[in-house]
Chain A
Amino acid sequence: MAVFLQLIVDALLIGGLYALLAVGVSLGFGVIRIINFAHGELAMLGAYGAFWAFTLLGVDPLVALPGLLVLGYLGGLLLFRGLIQHVLRAPPLNQILLTFGIALVLQHIAVVLWTGDNRNVNASYALSTTEIGPVLVFYGRLIAFIAAACLIGGLIAWLRWTETGRAVRAVAQNRDAATLIGIDPDHAYALAFAVSCALGVAGGAIVSFPINITPFMGFSVLLKSIAIVILGGMGSIGGTLAGAMILALAETMLAFYVPDGAGWTDGVAFGMIVAILLLRPRGIAGQGLTA
């Protein structure tokens, strides 16, 4: 029983991180209907931002987080105005190629600037643990989970209770109707894309202390995020949270209870996605931006 509890706690903490990394992809797709294949690379830049802040300035990743959020937001805005808005009405293939191209460029810039070496943020709490009853809790993951929960909570609050958030939701639901009531859809798109980029950067900063930082970390982040978004339902924040938790639980349980199960975790995750696409293509919570 103690082991089972341990696995549940581990899965929840990992699921929180997965959710934060996936929620930006979900928001971007829900509003502007573009899957941002550079999302993983934005997380990678966030992780490097946290690493350099920690290494050069001695600033803890959590302290650096607000600054990185702002940088991510501004970078996202720049990316949207400079590139993304030109393919809004282009065929999906063009959109995919553009964002994929951005991802490759960012990845290679990171290699040139920082080499392919592994980097790690060894914050004092990163490797500490505490025992709560029979359960061992990783401080690093707990702190990351709390930070992720705060950011996701902030996103939900923004979408639900602020005028700009409601405008973004309105555009996501019906662009024409939103335009008729005076909402500028291009502004809403830019806002949603910038916020999704900021969340990607923040996600990277938060995972900088539990995992390794390399220029190539973005692809696995992206793959997992897309899997979660498909599982939860494109554009649904609630569905993304559920998808992240299901995936984390499935991976953890499989790794423990099935012999050599750790080797099958990705396969089972994608098996679940295939099943969802066959049985319920809208995912757990379906299309539309619901908070």
Chain B
Amino acid sequence: MLKRRTVLQAGAMTMVGSRLVRAEEEFRIDVPAEFSGRFVAFGSQVKRGVETAVDVWKSVRGETVGGHSISVTEHDVQSNNATTVSVMSQLINSDRCHVLIGPGGSDIGAAAVPPWKQAADRPVWIVPGVSTMVVEEQIGKVPYFFHTFPWTYHYHKMIVAGLKASIGTDKKVAIIHSDGAYGRAHIKYAVKYLQDAGFNIVAQELIRENAPDYTPSLLKLRPLQPDVLYTLVQTSDAILLAKQIFSVKLTAPYLIGTFQTTLPEWKAALGDVQAYWTGVNTYIPNQHTKADPIEPKLFPSSDDWEDAWRKRWNKEPEYMEVGAYASCMLALLAWRKPSPWIETRSPRPWLNRPTRPRWGTAGSNRATLRCIRLSRRCWTSSCRSRAINTPASSGIRPTGRTVNCCRGHRYRWLYFSSLLSTRC
């Protein structure tokens, strides 16, 4: 028969042992993202952002976070909804990960929601992309979900405000939207904000995702002679659409896209055809924003950060790379307090705290570090006017400032908006 003392000793040793094991536990950052398939570009951007953040953290704060070594594991969701569900379920229910960062695309992000939502013990999930309202409607207010990116309506609120201020609302607008999740998610808000502003919407034309020919749809719009052509399609379709708009001589003076119009991919694909297109973005290089006053080494001035990025990756930073960097850095900061074990719930209050201006903008959510900008870019390599906006301020503030670039293009839409509450 066991003595009481022996049982107590065994119990105490087990407790101490388990604490020791937990102290050696790695802080797991799992990145479920699109590393193959149609949205592969998003996955590689998220990966680069996270890897850079972890390396910067290690060089500034050492190899550990809160006393735990850091492990980053990428998981390929293959740009496929079913795979996304399976990967998320595995990470949440079996692997018991601490923080999830990714995916990037709206369709895939929406597919990732159910396994996370259904889990009893949810890890913190920070999404550096995904604008679809499906995600916000389902989990926007759920604790432990953080979103460092604008939602669909932010795009259109921003664009329409810019249009209204610069060209007035007595204009005819024709909308082209794709039949995929992206187009369907955006059309509602584009129409709402355009109508609320008083624009005359003369046509809403649906096009097929991945179609090789949009000419019939464009031919329908040509006789209407719209002043503004407002396109709601994803990048690959947008490139082909822009080419065909040029070819069919659909000469709307104002050509509006979303994020794609600021991407190097767009520039490379379209050359001069991309001139006169306007879009939004959460990050544009060369803005000369100051370093974060509290964490200047983790969030240095944009010039320093961009220089380091270019040296490391030999390329300009993309918006989702910046988003993934910020998301990962926030996760590391949230768990920075030394702790013998990793508690997935403790950092939430910190993540939800109001923020001071960091990287150019203030926000009601710590995870919202950036802004959304309406810009037209001149892509001529020698031209320095390629990224234009105004100093940071809160709210939408059209400035009306005019800049002439090297090609004589007049850039008049210089707007800057702090999108404060991306988590809503």
Q: For B215, what are the chain A residues with a Cβ–Cβ distance below 8 Å? A: 10, 252
The secondary structure that dominates the B interface is helix
CB distance from A224 to the nearest CB of B (A): 8
Report Cα–Cα, A172/B249, bound state, in Å: 48
Q: Are B216 and A127 in contact, with the CB atoms below 8 A?
A: no
Q: Find A115's partner among B40, B205, B210 (CB 8 Å cutoff).
A: B40
Q: For A97, what are the chain B residues with a Cβ–Cβ distance below 8 Å? A: none
Q: Mask for A128-155, Cβ within 8 A of B = 1, else 0?
A: 1100000010101000000000000000
CB distance from B217 to the nearest CB of A (A): 5
Report Cα–Cα, A149/B270, bound state, in Å: 27
Binding site for A on B (CB under 8 A): 36-41, 44, 179, 205-208, 210-217, 219-220, 235-236, 239-240, 243, 246-249, 265, 268-271, 273
Residue contacts A-B, CB under 8 angstroms, 26 given: A10-B216, A115-B44, A116-B37, A116-B38, A116-B39, A116-B40, A117-B41, A117-B265, A118-B236, A120-B239, A120-B268, A120-B269, A122-B269, A127-B246, A127-B247, A127-B273, A136-B247, A138-B247, A210-B212, A212-B269, A214-B236, A215-B40, A216-B37, A255-B216, A261-B216, A262-B208
Q: 7 closest A-B pairs (Cβ-Cβ)?
A: A116-B40, A255-B216, A256-B216, A263-B179, A120-B269, A260-B206, A262-B207
Check A65 for interface membership: any CB of B closer than 8 A. Answer: no
**Nearest residue in B to A251 (C-beta to C-beta)?**
B213
Check A211 for interface membership: any CB of B closer than 8 A. Answer: yes
Q: Mask for A233-269, Cβ within 8 A of B = 1, else 0?
A: 0000000000000000001110110001111011000
CB distance from A268 to the nearest CB of B (A): 11
**Nearest residue in B to A129 (C-beta to C-beta)?**
B247
Report Cα–Cα, A10/B220, bound state, in Å: 14
Q: Are B249 and A136 in contact, with the CB atoms below 8 A?
A: yes
CB distance from B73 to the nearest CB of A (A): 20
Most buried by A among B37, B38, B213, B217: B213
CB distance from A208 to the nearest CB of B (A): 12
Check A119 for interface membership: any CB of B closer than 8 A. Answer: yes
CB distance from B182 to the nearest CB of A (A): 13
Report Cα–Cα, A116/B235, bound state, in Å: 12
Q: Are A118 and B246 in contact, with the CB atoms below 8 A?
A: no
Q: Are B269 and A118 in contact, with the CB atoms below 8 A?
A: yes
Contact (A212, B248) CB under 8 Å given A10-B213, A263-B179:
no
Report Cα–Cα, A128/B248, bound state, in Å: 9
CB distance from A17 to the nearest CB of B (A): 8
Q: Find B219's partner among A210, A256, A261, A263 (CB 8 Å cutoff).
A: A256
Most buried by A among B211, B212, B236: B212
Report Cα–Cα, A216/B36, bound state, in Å: 10
- Within 1-45 of A, Cβ neighbours of B (below 8 Å) are at 3, 6-7, 10, 14, 17
In the complex, besides A116-B37, A127-B243, 20 extra interface pairs with C-beta distance below 8 angstroms are: A3-B219, A10-B213, A14-B212, A108-B36, A116-B44, A118-B235, A118-B239, A118-B265, A129-B248, A136-B248, A138-B247, A140-B247, A212-B269, A214-B38, A252-B216, A255-B216, A255-B217, A261-B216, A262-B205, A263-B207
CB distance from B174 to the nearest CB of A (A): 14
Q: Are A220 and B239 in contact, with the CB atoms below 8 A?
A: no
CB distance from A228 to the nearest CB of B (A): 13
Check A83 for interface membership: any CB of B closer than 8 A. Answer: no
Contact (A266, B271) CB under 8 Å given A7-B216, A255-B216, A256-B220:
no
CB distance from B186 to the nearest CB of A (A): 15
Count, chain A residues at interface, CB 8 A: 41
Q: Find B41's partner among A116, A256, A261 (CB 8 Å cutoff).
A: A116
Q: For A17, what are the chain B residues with a Cβ–Cβ distance below 8 Å? A: 212
Q: Mask for A95-109, Cβ within 8 A of B = 1, else 0?
A: 000000000000010
Check A78 for interface membership: any CB of B closer than 8 A. Answer: no
Q: Mask for A58-79, Cβ within 8 A of B = 1, else 0?
A: 0000000000000000000000
Check A111 for interface membership: any CB of B closer than 8 A. Answer: yes
Contact (A266, B249) CB under 8 Å given A117-B265, A212-B239:
no
Q: Are A115 and B213 in contact, with the CB atoms below 8 A?
A: no
Report Cα–Cα, A151/B69, bound state, in Å: 61
**Nearest residue in B to A266 (C-beta to C-beta)?**
B208
**Nearest residue in B to A267 (C-beta to C-beta)?**
B208
Contact (A115, B269) CB under 8 Å given A129-B249, A255-B217, A262-B211:
no
Q: Are B216 and A211 in contact, with the CB atoms below 8 A?
A: no
**Nearest residue in A to B213 (C-beta to C-beta)?**
A14
CB distance from A165 to the nearest CB of B (A): 30
Q: Are A265 and B211 in contact, with the CB atoms below 8 A?
A: yes
Q: For B268, what are the chain A residues with a Cβ–Cβ distance below 8 Å? A: 119-120
Report Cα–Cα, A220/B210, bound state, in Å: 8
Report Cα–Cα, A262/B180, bound state, in Å: 12
CB distance from A135 to the nearest CB of B (A): 11
Q: For B37, what are the chain A residues with a Cβ–Cβ distance below 8 Å? A: 116, 216
Report Cα–Cα, A262/B235, bound state, in Å: 18
Report Cα–Cα, A119/B269, bound state, in Å: 6
**Nearest residue in B to A17 (C-beta to C-beta)?**
B212
Q: For B212, what are the chain A residues with a Cβ–Cβ distance below 8 Å? A: 14, 17, 207, 210-211
Contact (A216, B269) CB under 8 Å given A138-B247, A262-B206, A262-B214:
no
**Nearest residue in B to A264 (C-beta to C-beta)?**
B208
Q: For A255, what are the chain B residues with a Cβ–Cβ distance below 8 Å? A: 208, 213, 216-217
Q: For A140, what are the chain B residues with a Cβ–Cβ distance below 8 Å? A: 247
